[in-house]
Amino acid sequence: MPRYVSLKSDRVNVREGPSKEHPTLWIYERAALPVEITAEFETWRKIRDSEGAEGWVLHSLLSGRRTALVAPWKKEPQLLVAEDYKTPVVKLGPGVIGNLRGCDGKWCRIAGKGFDGYMQQENLWGVYPGEKFE
């Protein structure tokens, strides 16, 4: 059941429960933000963000597109490298969002505005440890 998705819109209401009758707890204002689905009820999905905050959103506000946050728990930028896993490309600061292009269980290819390269999977939030996909 748990799986990562991303926010489809730059304005997503997060509710206390799975209906529009439940109060809005907060509003996300960051499209492409990765979130983890932890439960489902009809057209509603319970999500958790990188800080551990949880709430319910309509499934239509979520996208299956995989994105990741660069180490939001670290203070220093993380190195993005070329395909040889050695040549530095750029350092990305904590909280930068990128599109996941694939992961091999140890490294993920991540791309965004002005960057494209590989980062150690352990430095990304939005992908499970050891997860592999193309």
Domain residues for 17? 3-65
CATH number at residue 88: 2.30.30
pLDDT digits 0-9 by tens, 19-67: 999 999 999 999 999 999 999 999 999 999 999 999 999 999 999 999 9
Q: Are residues 73 and 53 in the same domain?
A: no
CATH number at residue 28: 2.30.30.40
Total domain count for the chain? 2
pLDDT band at 1 (very low <50, low <70, confident <90, very high): confident
Torsion of CA 72, 73, 77, 78, to 10 degrees: -90
pLDDT of residue 93: 97
Reported as type and span, the H/E element at residue 125 is strand 124-125
pLDDT digits 0-9 by tens, 86-108: 999 999 999 999 999 999 999 99
Single pTM value for the model: 0.94
Q: Are residues 45 and 76 in the same domain?
A: no
